[in-house]
Amino acid sequence: MGKPGGFLEQERTEAVKRPIEVRIRDFHEVEEMPVLARLADQGARCLDCGIPFCHSYGCPLLNRIPDFNDLVFRGKWRQALEILESTNNFPEITGRICPAPCEAACTLAVDFGAVSIRRIELALAEKGWDEGWIAPRPAATDSGRRVAVVGSGPAGLAAAQELARRGHRVTVFEKAEKPGGLLRYGIPDFKLEKRVLDRRLEQLQAEGITFQTGVEAGVDVSGRYLRRSFDAILLATGAAVPRDLEVPGRDLGGVHFALEYLVAQNLAGEKDDLHPSPNAEGKRVVVIGGGDTGSDCVGTARRQGALHIRQIELLESPPENRQPDNPWPSWPRILRTSTSQEEGCERLWALETKALLGEDGKVTGLSCVGLDWSGAKPVARAGSETEFEADLVLLALGFLHTEHGTLVRELELPADRRGNLATAPDGSTKRPGIFAAGDAASGASLAVRAIASGRRAAAGIDAYLS
């Protein structure tokens, strides 16, 4: 373990964030980079529990957290990184964007504050890059087998790397101009700067992975071509079909899906365009949806110079502390404030949007009603009708499932009752040689779960090809 009793000597430390008045002027990352040497005290706090819930319950990747915590405490950083990389392909990415369910499951989270696992993970990864410990690891032998990976988000990239390191020839098809999927186009730079992604993509290319960008599978290349040209196919196409808001006024100008808005800003960032469309500059912005995607919209609108930002949520405000029906080590359903929300937005709870209001074809506001959640189902509260002014409305209501487009139909892939591609635990579908991973198979979830799914699918494909 770390240091016996170390958790009594050292408190949990939080990430250091740039001052709000500074960071809202740019799209650089909010959090400052942690220094690994200063995190040794966090490694010392680790209890090396008999049942490490951080590893077995909290982390989808089954990261060997107590092992690398102890090595960080002892200053054996390269060994710690080797253990981290044995389960996580992209720790510099998860160290930035993962909500850290491992920390929620840490035994110390009950009374003393969890070990700062995410910051240790990020610091280890950055130390690895700085020291040259993270380098291409091409396969020693070539299996002669060809694998097509459709989609270059976290699941597709993790699977591609695992397959390439097993000696298979991997081609990744991406319909966008650059690879990365939602890591590039859906996550704002203030959470994940694209240089971080590009650095990793260079490693993947050096390991022999071929990227064909601007190519939409099912349109530019057919499913028949993929089946004829490759020994196995992995669909890692994400869950990009958004949940819509079916109310009067939905077709007004100025109403956009959240992802459409975030993609526009990320594309603008690549081209140094200060005025992407849609843009929040000088506008009254309402974000409908209180999750992470909605929060990303808030932070983006603040940086674009919004006049006022509201974020409204259908559910009631969560409690500040765990409730009896939400015990450790489960994920705590408590009130959280994101870095974007810290930067300034009005948060409203238990509100249902009944209509979008407009003039001359453009949105001017919303009509909402308050909800009472005390019964078996929510009901409108009498006299709670209210209206808000808005020039830009962003719909961050979550995602339904992957697109059931030409490729899915051509490959005759069945879906489950939620619309996700139906798979076995190893990612295989009912069509021999065709696999699915990530959000395409599970529905929208965390990047860390997508990486884990991609790794499992890669193992399934390797077994199939062998």
User: pLDDT tens digits for 215-236?
Assistant: 999 999 999 999 999 999 999 9
**Residue 400: its H or E element:** strand 399-401
Q: Which of 91, 107, 131 is the last residue of a domain?
A: 131
Same domain as 405, residue 389 = no
Would you say residue 171 lies in a domain?
yes
Nearest to 341 by CA among 381, 305, 290, 307: 290
User: pLDDT tens digits for 15-37?
Assistant: 999 999 999 999 999 999 999 99
Do 207 and 138 meet the contact criterion of CB atoms below 8 Å apart?
Answer: yes
User: pLDDT tens digits for 66-105?
Assistant: 999 999 999 999 999 999 999 999 999 999 999 999 999 9
Same domain as 447, residue 366 = no
Same domain as 118, residue 103 = yes
| pLDDT at 269 (0 to 100) | 83
C-alpha 21/C-alpha 331 separation (Å) is 32
* CATH assignment of the domain containing 22: 1.10.1060.10
Taking each helix axis from N to C end, the angle separating 117-131 and 65-73, rounded to the nearest 10 degrees, works out to: 70
Would you say residue 159 lies in a domain?
yes
Same domain as 249, residue 372 = yes
Categorize the per-residue pLDDT at 447 as very low, low, confident or very high, splitting at 50, 70 and 90. Answer: very high
Categorize the per-residue pLDDT at 180 as very low, low, confident or very high, splitting at 50, 70 and 90. Answer: very high
Same domain as 285, residue 152 = no
Would you say residue 235 lies in a domain?
yes
Same domain as 408, residue 374 = no
Q: Which of 380, 397, 414 is the last residue of a domain?
A: 397
| pLDDT of residue 2 exceeding 80 | no
C-alpha 297/C-alpha 74 separation (Å) is 41
C-alpha 408/C-alpha 235 separation (Å) is 9
Stretch 241-266: mean pLDDT: 97
SS3 for 43?
Answer: helix
Would you say residue 140 lies in a domain?
no
What percentage of the chain has pLDDT greater than the value 90? Answer: 95
Beta-strand runs (E) in 151-243:
169-174, 210-213, 232-235, 241-242
Stretch 303-332: mean pLDDT: 96
Same domain as 286, residue 325 = yes
Same domain as 345, residue 277 = yes
Would you say residue 141 lies in a domain?
no
Same domain as 267, residue 390 = yes
C-alpha 197/C-alpha 204 separation (Å) is 11
Beta-strand runs (E) in 251-375:
255-257, 284-288, 308-312, 346-348, 351-359, 362-372
Categorize the per-residue pLDDT at 273 as very low, low, confident or very high, splitting at 50, 70 and 90. Answer: confident
Same domain as 378, residue 287 = yes
* CATH assignment of the domain containing 173: 3.50.50.60
| pLDDT of residue 60 exceeding 80 | yes
Would you say residue 136 lies in a domain?
no
Q: In what order do the strands lie in the sheet with 146-150?
A: 210-213, 169-174, 146-150, 232-235, 434-436
Same domain as 236, residue 248 = no
Q: Which of 397, 415, 442 is the last residue of a domain?
A: 397
Would you say residue 1 lies in a domain?
no
| pLDDT of residue 1 exceeding 70 | no
User: pLDDT tens digits for 379-438?
Assistant: 999 999 999 999 999 999 999 999 999 999 999 999 999 999 999 999 999 999 999 999
| pLDDT at 179 (0 to 100) | 98
C-alpha 55/C-alpha 48 separation (Å) is 11
Would you say residue 110 lies in a domain?
yes
* Total-model pTM: 0.96
Count how many domains the chain has.
3
Q: Which domain holds residue 81?
A: 6-131
| pLDDT at 413 (0 to 100) | 96
Same domain as 104, residue 23 = yes
Mean pLDDT estimate for the chain: 96
